Amino acid sequence: MDTPKHLQGLPHVVVLGAGFAGLNFCKSFDGRARVTLVDRQNHHLFQPLLYQVAMAALSAPEIAEPVRTIFRDRENVVVLMDEAKKIDLQKREVELAQNTLKYDYLVCGLGGTKTYFGNEQWEALAPGLKSLEDAMRIRRHLLQSFERAETTNDPEERKRLMTIVVVGGGPTGVELAGSMAELCKRVFKKDFRRIDTRESRVILVHSNGRILEEYPEDLSESGKKQLASLGVEIILDNKVVDIQRHHVELSDGTRIDTENVLWGAGVKANPITAGLGIELARGGRVPVDPDLSLASRGHPEVFFVGDIVSIRQEDGEPVPGVAPAAIQMGKHVARLIEERLERQVMSSAGGDATRPFRYWDKGMMATIGRMRAVAWTGDIPLIRGLKMTGLLAWLGWLTIHIAYLVGFRNRVAVFLSWVYSYASFRRGARIIISPEQDVSDHDATSSAVDTVALPA
């Protein structure tokens, strides 16, 4: 298929992935070049709020914005919905599922994918949370578990259906566990007649001695207390060693009967890095040069940005896999490529003096539920190193997440949804869209036990 006329003859920048890094590259890039942005989804997803879609607090379109809409007025940006399969550094081309693209510059922000550390068969029983599809699956499964708990005549099954195990005590696991406890114990309370939803259990299992281990110790401690105040049971220094349809088993031999397991534990880089033919860092991440390129490997025209990258800050600490780092990387590379295009200087053998990437760590925050959160400001003048917990941290979290949402419509919609659900303790998006699919999740035994006459 031909290049649109007005873009012919311009240098070609191929951007892989419309996550925070790729999107912010395209938004801020202002050089004379044609840009092709490739993503296997048709939308940019605001990952930090994905757990709220899983928890039925937000609807899917509220946290996603079609990529085409974002760039509809940028005539030099062509969007392709396709999947990147292989990067050929020598030929300077990317193989997609349906096409092959030649590039002058490559910006790869394909991010990460969940990993079950060799137990990939657990995926069927313990969904992780990376895509809208995942979120909808978790929502559907959870709502159906409570519907089944309401109808079943078997007290053991009812208990199992009302027990939720969250694996992993990082920010994702903590957000999931906290909002899950609110949903099950409080939001559901008035909706069911036969079960007492306050009896539902939410159990967080973490392999380390404290949750949120990247945070200062007192914030971890506060997070733990805030979770406990919502009724979440926390199991530390313990690993999940087996996941079955009706239970999980921990490394100390504990067995928890449950039909709801959520995976918030492992992330590794997109498998495309394996085909690069270079030595990779932990989790398949790409060890880039300080300017985020592969210049020292002979490819100054190739950049990696976002979670797919392994790079250290000046103090030797690794740059964390968080949204602000991805955004900053995208913008950094946009500046570098603009400058190179202007100067028309480019050596193909490394040694090009390009500015190193510097991560501006503005801090981190995790929400734990309604009016509960922990936050820690980073390198921000006047409030450097400030720690916040509870309501104040939560208000900060709300503000920042609304501000960074892509699209005015989404900001208004999310704001209104939050006002509604926090004020009314209801959830707008508690809709099971395709119950048929999940019915096949039940095993034959439990279905048979279900078919018992109700006393009239």
* Helical H segments across 123-269, by residue range: 132-151, 155-161, 171-182, 217-229
1/444 with CB nearer a second copy = 1
Using CB under 8 A as the binding rule, whether residue 52 contacts a second copy is answered as no
Q: Which of 234, 184, 183, 176 is nearest to 204 (CA)?
A: 234
Number of residues that bind a second copy (CB under 8 A): 72
Amino acid residing at 25: F
* 98 lies in the binding site for a second copy (CB under 8 A): yes
Q: What residues have CB less than 8 Å from 422, skipping those under 6 apart?
A: 370
Nearer residue to a second copy within complex by CB, 148 or 332: 148
Is 455 near a second copy (CB under 8 A)? yes
CA dist 423 and 417 (Å) reads 10
| Stretch of 131-139, 234-242, 262-270, 290-298 contacting a second copy, by CB under 8 A | 131-139
Q: How far apart are CA 364 and CA 377, in angstroms?
A: 6
Catalytic residue among 62, 175, 182, 259: 175
Does residue 445 interact with a second copy by CB under 8 A?
Answer: no
Give the residue, chosen from 228, 241, 278, 452, that forms a contact with a second copy under the rule CB under 8 A.
452
1 vs 345, beta carbon nearer a second copy: 1
Among 133, 213, 217, 379, binds a second copy (CB under 8 A): 133
Which tokens go with 46? 């605001």
Residue 146 or 376 with smaller CB distance to a second copy:
146
Among 10, 33, 125, 132, binds a second copy (CB under 8 A): 132
Report yes or no: 385 and 377 within 8 Å, Cβ to Cβ: yes
Select the span of 93-101, 113-121, 339-347, 392-400 touching a second copy (CB under 8 A). 93-101
**141-180 residues near a second copy, rule: CB under 8 A:** 143-144, 147, 150-153
Of 218, 242, 409, 443, the one binding a second copy (CB under 8 A) is: 409
Of the candidates 266, 262, 365, the one whose C-alpha atom is nearest the C-alpha of residue 307 is: 266
Please list every residue from 56 through 75 that binds a second copy, using CB under 8 A: 59-62, 64, 66, 68-69, 72-73, 75
SS3 372: strand
Q: 7 vs 371, which CB is nearer to a second copy? A: 7
Gyration radius of the chain over CA positions: 24
When the beta carbons of 32 and 72 are compared against a second copy, the nearer one is 72
End-to-end CA distance of the chain: 67
Rounded distance, CA 216 to CA 305, Å? Answer: 27
Contacting a second copy (CB under 8 A), which of 253, 434, 440, 444?
434
- Nearest distance from residue 251's CB to a second copy, in Å? 34
Choose between 382 and 453: whose C-beta lies nearer to a second copy: 453
Query: Is residue 100 a contact point for a second copy (CB under 8 A)?
Result: yes
**Which residues does 170 contact at the CB level (< 8 Å), separation at least 6?**
211, 212, 213, 214, 264, 265
CB-based contact 171:177 (threshold 8 Å): no
Pick the piece of the chain touching a second copy (CB under 8 A) from 187-195, 276-284, 311-319, 361-369: 187-195
* Nearest to 246, CA basis, from 260, 236, 232: 260
Question: What is d(CA 140, CA 137) in angstroms, rounded to the nearest whole number?
Answer: 5
375-378: long-range contacts at Cβ-Cβ below 8 A with a sequence spacing of 24 or more?
376/215, 376/216, 376/219
- Residue 156 falls in the annotated catalytic set: no
Contacting residue, 30, 32, 86, 99, with a second copy by CB under 8 A: 99
Please calculate the CA angle 264-308-343 and round it to the nearest 5 degrees.
Answer: 155
Residue 61 CB, shortest distance to a second copy, in Å, is 4
| Subset of 189-228 contacting a second copy (CB under 8 A) | 190-194
Query: Between 140 and 332, whose beta carbon lies closer to a second copy?
Result: 140
Choose, by CB under 8 A, the member of 214, 233, 257, 450 that binds a second copy. Answer: 450
Tell me if 330 sits within 8 A of 108, measured CB to CB: no
Window 253 to 272, contacts with a second copy (CB under 8 A): none
| CA 241-265-309 angle, 5° bins | 135
Q: Up-side HSE of residue 393: CA atoms within 13 Å toward CB?
A: 23
Q: Are 303 and 362 in contact (CB under 8 A)?
A: no
The answer to whether 203 and 181 have CB atoms below 8 angstroms apart is no
- Asked whether position 453 contacts a second copy by CB under 8 A, the answer is yes
438 binds a second copy per the rule CB under 8 A? no
In the complex, the smallest distance separating the C-beta of residue 180 from a second copy, rounded to whole angstroms, is: 17
The one among 15, 23, 26, 79 contacting a second copy by CB under 8 A: 79
Q: Which residues are catalytic?
A: 175
